[in-house]
Structure 1
Amino acid sequence: MKIEFPKPFFWGAASSATQSEGRQLTDGKGENIWDYASKEYNHRFYEGVTTEDTSYFYRDYQQDIQKMQDISFNSFRTSISWSRLIPNGTGAVNPEAVIFYNNIINEMIAKGVEPFINLYHFDMPMPLQKKGGFENKEVIEAYKQYAKTCFELFGDRVTYWFTFNEPMIPAEAGYLHDRHYPYVVDFKRAAMVLHNIILAHCEAVKVYREMKLAGKIGIIMDVIPVYPRSQNPADLDAAEMADLFYTKSVNDAILKGKYPTRLKEVLEEYDQLPEVTVADLALIAATKIDLLGINYYRPRRVKAKEGVPNPKGVFSPEWFFDEYVMPGRRMNTSRGIEIYPRGIYDIAKKIQVEYDNIDWFVSENGIGIEGEEAFIEEGIVQDDYRIDFLKEHLTYLNQAMKEGSNCLGYHMWTFVDCWSWGNAYKNRYGFYRLDLATGEKTVKKSGLWFKETVENNGFD
């Protein structure tokens, strides 16, 4: 059976500035929260690898973009580093960064690779974090000015812009669940951060519209489809609450222009509602995007709570559901997460039915494997497991598209093995293998398969 995709279709991969660029002594870059945390909290990072030693894109961008062309990419998403472009978060622009980003944008266009440029991928400049980061309304204004600067500098060539990657994560991982710096555990503060990120997104979109640039602007969302253990009403309610907190809280605000009523009721009941003004709600209601990116890695399976939450404990979404470990689930043991290809179909249908079938694309999807060197034969990683993963997800995506979903492309995470938040280089995701000792980048079997898939616009 031939799985064919419509033309045109965006084929490529995604990365981010902090995870791929690396540092050089004369680059003029300011410090962001990951530069700081990977040094000051080095024990939290696998084998102590810091942001200094990521995948050398700052140094190797010409060869890397050639490698994209070598496997027939027609598009690639990366981010601009706020702290590279504006080292203090506000004020003077770093001329070295302007040269670098102009060079990569021009090089990509010259090689037939459409730049998809994201403005914020978890990387708050440290001087702004010291002012409270997105807890502080002043930082919304700083972000707005940063976005405007990017549009002015690069908007004549970049057609596809994205305000944030996974806006939920800086709030949830940085302010509730102790995974990202500043390692705060406080739901109300997390809710304030998420609300202010949504406002910053709206302000950037507003600026883009006012500038009348001839491109599209959107956002990249992390969507984890929720599946209840059973059709028992208690399990269904648990799934509804998980979806409310982790998906609808941000998706409805950005895609429907309003927060869910049920969310407001719950947060008021538990005294966790952040300060939200009438003007805030009006701005959210007035903001529309052109294109949605969806990152999908795993499902969320839940069941009804088996115990009463500690009334003196930290309020969290997990007060309303427990994780459900489904018997027989298929696992990526390197990451400890379930592999469920059908989830990408379910997301596509949700967008089609609940969110007006907005134009969207798969902005991340991939599989991170530990110890890939065990699969090297004759100098190439024989990653058939990645090829199988891609085939399964693309087949379900194709099915949803045949049923009317407006999916415009597929970007795998990632192009070259990159540094991951906390995990550093423990799990490898790339079409190209990075040798940490030498910096050499060599194509994997999956990269060659992808090239063939792009050229045929599908696969058998």
Structure 2
Amino acid sequence: MLRRRDLLLSALAAASLPALPLPTRAQTAAAAPLLPAGTPRLPADFVWGASTSAYQIEGAVTEGGRKPSIWDVFAHTPGRIADGTTGDVACDHYHRYADDVALMGDLGFQAYRFSLAWPRVMPEGTGPVNAAGLDFYDRLVDSLLARGIQPMACLYHWDLPQALQERGGWRNRDIAHWFADYATAAIGRLGDRVKPWAMLNEPSVHAIFGHGFGNHAPGLTGWDSYVKAQHHLNLAQGTGIAAARALRADLKLGTVLSLQPIFPASQDPADIAAAARFDACWNTINLDPLFHGRYPDLFAEDFAPLVKPGDLETIRAPIDFLGVNYYGPSYIKHDPNAFLGQASWGALPPNTPQTLLGWPISAQGMVDVLARLRDAYGNPPVFITENGACYEDPAPVDGVVQDPARTEYIRAHLVAAGQAIAQGCALKGYYVWSLLDNFEWAEGERRRFGVVRVDFASQQRTPKASGLYLSQLMKAARAGAAP
């Protein structure tokens, strides 16, 4: 474990400027340069962070009283994960959290967004609280605070206790109350030190892929399943916020949504209409109930049978911040066979840059998302809680992984962050996805987003040029220098 720290410190040791610990000149030349002159300056109080999620990094799935989640069951089902791996070990963060926190501190991160594993805190989903599970998060939080890193906790990042799935999971309306009880247990233990709390991570994505397409846990399919899961996720978000506010008045409460610009794949009227339907299912199915107390007109009738008196008032619970996960836009075509509003992904415009996953790259799209929040949803305080890119990384050379494409992706989106702020958007911070290469859901361990490389066999951590680049910027910002 010490060797990993030594490698990082060695990579940062040969500094070009005393105030800015940098990689060697050769390493810096192979990575992207610092932000160019004229880039909009980010505010002095701008928060620089990294994000992870419990199932993707923790491992130790049978330790400390934890019981299975829907992702444990899904990942162990043959054919579900592209490379056959599981999250049983992942990054072994459960045992290596202290080194990972030290790594964040050495790189200069000011904040860390992590998620709690519901089956570690309440193994059966309801009933007794597992003290040993909360002890782990106690240790993690205390380690973060000791390094001057602000923790942001997310209560739910897709790893529902399997015991609750067997009671209907997100299709069962009772889950809104189960979630409130879980929120009470977690915040009651950690809320004296953790102040920003996000209720959910990407509820629309969880509903679409886990309960509609079926290629994420719990592997359910169909429109009816999707609608029930989506409404109950929205409802639980509201009950969780209410439970948290009843516990403490000093918390900052919000939720995390995946938002993206949606464009028609062509100017065919059918594709234009399909793009509008897809936008409703991906974006406004969360935004409209949260900020306006109603479902989008396109699908209001579909949700109406599930909406009971008081539901929309509960969902519209005021928030202190909105987390936005942004990766890129989607181009949508009409597809009569698609369960999701007869809409599916179409061809990208010619010469559109893409990541290894085929996701289109558009930093301008992040500005567009933030401008939409400014103009249509009251300009809430926003943190970019995930932003990053998957590429095929080379092997480390001289203790650093050279990833210039990822570095440029991050650079471009930080430029976009400054542009959005200059245009009046209430953007308060940026959390890169992800701190570590991890178990990337249905892709398994074969796809990497980290700014730190993880060798899953040895658990060796190796900084990437993108992580060292961020380190330069974060330490410059902390020193009060222009990036």
Same fold, TM-score > 0.5, yes or no: yes
Once the two structures are TM-superposed, the CA of residue 403 in structure 1 deviates from its matched residue by 1.1
8 Å CA contact 1:2, 1:459 repeated in 2? no
Tell me how far apart the structure 2 counterparts of residues 234 and 367 of structure 1 sit (CA, whole Å): 31
Q: 2:277 aligns with which of 226, 229, 241?
A: 241
Provide the residue aligned with 1:275 in structure 2: 306
1: CA distance, partners of 2:364 / 2:156 = 29
Corresponding residue of 2:455: 435
Q: 1:315 to 1:419 in 2, by over 3 A?
A: closer
Q: How does 1:216-231 map to 2 (within 5 A)?
A: 216-229=252-265
- Is it true that 1:422 corresponds to 2:442 in the alignment? yes
CA distance in 2, matches of 1:81, 1:200: 16
Going from structure 1 to structure 2, the CA distance change for 1:316 and 1:239 (only over 3 Å counts) comes to closer
Q: Deviations over 1:286-306 (max 9, x none)?
A: x11110010011211134x3x
Structure-2 change in CA distance of 1:129 and 1:229 (3 Å): closer
Q: Which residue identity is paired with 1:46?
A: A
Matches of residues 153-302 of structure 1 in structure 2 within 5 Å?
Answer: 153-229=189-265, 234-265=270-301, 267=302, 274-285=305-316, 287-302=317-332
Q: Is the 8 A contact 1:192 1:274 kept in 2?
A: no
Give the match for residue 352 of structure 2.
329
Which letter does structure 2 place at the counterpart of 1:342? Answer: Q
Indicate the residue corresponding to 1:316 in structure 2.
340
Residue 351 (1) aligns with residue 387 (2): no
Residue from 135, 142, 160 that aligns with 1:106: 142
Q: Distance in 1 between matches of 2:403 and 2:218?
A: 36
In structure 2, stretches of 5+ residues that fail to align are: 1-36
List per-residue Cα deviations over 1:288-339 (Å, max 9, x = no partner): 1110010011211134x3x7x25xxx7432x15662431121121x212111
Please tell me the residue identity of whatever aligns with 1:325: L
In structure 1, the residue matched to 2:71 is 34
User: Aligned-pair distance for 1:409?
Assistant: 0.4
Q: Take 2:156 and 2:402, find their aligned partners in 1: how far apart are those partners?
A: 34
Q: Go from structure 1 to structure 2 and tell me whether the alpha carbon gap of 1:388 and 1:85 turns closer, same or farther (over 3 Å shift).
A: same
Residues 278 and 340 of structure 2 are in contact (CA less than 8 Å); yes or no, is this contact kept in structure 1? Answer: no
The AA in structure 2 aligned to 1:54 is A
Which moved further from structure 2: 450-459 or 438-447? 450-459
Residue 294 of structure 1 aligns with an amino acid whose one-letter code is: V
Return the offset for 1:26.
4.0
Match of 1:137 in 2: 173
Residue identity opposite 2:52 in structure 1:
S
Partner SS state of residue 441, structure 1: strand
Write the letter of the residue equivalent to 2:354.
Answer: M
- Is this contact kept in 2: 1:241–1:321, CA < 8 A? no
C-alpha distance in 1 between matches for 2:225 and 2:55: 25
Counterparts of 1:163 and 1:387, CA distance in 2? 30
Distance 1:359 1:146 in 2: 26
Determine the C-alpha separation between the residues in 1 that align with 2:51 and 2:198. Answer: 12
SS at match of 1:44: coil
Moved more, 335-344 or 400-409: 335-344
Which residue pairs with 1:407 in the alignment?
Answer: 427
Query: After superposition, where does 1:59-78 map in structure 2 within 5 Å?
Result: 59-78=95-114
Q: CA deviation at 1:230?
A: 5.7
Match of 1:120 in 2: 156
Distance verdict in 2 for CA 1:388–1:142, change over 3 Å: same
Which amino acid in the other structure matches residue 330 of structure 1? P
Quick check: 1:191–1:274 contact (8 Å CA) kept in 2?
Answer: no
**Is the alpha carbon distance of 1:315 and 1:378 closer, same or farther for their aligned partners in structure 2, counting shifts above 3 Å?**
closer
1:393 partner amino acid: H
SS of residue in 1 equivalent to 2:114:
strand
Q: Report the 3-state secondary structure (helix = DSSP H, G, I; strand = E; otherwise coil) of the residue aligned with 2:385.
A: strand
Give the match for residue 394 of structure 2. 373
Are 1:364 and 2:378 matched, yes or no?
no
Q: Report deviation, 1:380.
A: 1.3
**Counterpart residue number, 1:342:** 364
User: Is the Cα–Cα contact under 8 Å of residues 281 and 340 in structure 2 kept in the other structure?
Assistant: no
Measure, in 1, the Cα distance between the counterparts of 2:57 and 2:327: 20
Q: 1:20 to 1:315 in 2, by over 3 A?
A: closer
Q: Distance in 1 between matches of 2:473 and 2:195?
A: 25
Determine the C-alpha separation between the residues in 1 that align with 2:63 and 2:386.
32
- Per-residue deviation, 1:114: 0.3
TM-superposed deviation, 1:120: 0.2
Aligned to 2:157, what secondary structure does the other structure show? Answer: coil
User: Which sections of structure 1, spanning at least 5 residues, go unmatched?
Assistant: none
**Cα deviations across residues 348-389 of structure 1 (Å, max 9, x unaligned)?**
11111111110001000101123x134x32231011111111
Cα distance in 2, alignment partners of residues 315 and 159 from structure 1: 39
| 3-state SS, counterpart of residue 335 of structure 1 | coil
2:119 to 80, 83, 99: 83
1:5 has 2:42 as partner: yes
Alpha carbons 2:74, 2:219 under 8 Å: kept: no
What CA distance in whole angstroms lies between the structure 2 residues aligned with 1:442 and 1:322?
A: 35
Q: What is the SS of the residue equivalent to 1:339?
A: coil
Indicate yes or no: 2:57 matched with 1:17. Answer: no
Q: Alpha carbons of 1:274 and 1:173: their partners in 2 closer, same or farther (altered >3 Å)?
A: farther
What secondary structure, in the 3-state scheme, does the structure 2 residue paired with 1:422 have? Answer: helix
* 1:394 aligned to which of 399, 411, 414: 414
Higher mean C-alpha displacement, 14-23 vs 336-345:
336-345
Q: Are the aligned partners of 1:167 and 1:221 in contact in 2 as well (CA < 8 Å)?
A: yes
TM superposition score normalised by structure 1: 0.92
SS in 2 for 1:328: coil
- 1:173 Cα deviation after fit: 0.8
Moved more, 247-256 or 145-154: 247-256
Structure 1 residues 42 and 112, CA gap change in structure 2 (3 angstroms): farther
Equivalent position SS for 1:433: strand
RMSD: 1.9
Paired residues of 1:27 and 1:96 also in contact (CA < 8 A): yes
Partner amino acid for 2:437?
A: D
DSSP-derived class of the 1:122 partner: coil
Secondary structure class of the residue paired with 2:289: helix
Scaled by the length of structure 2, the TM-score of the pair is 0.88
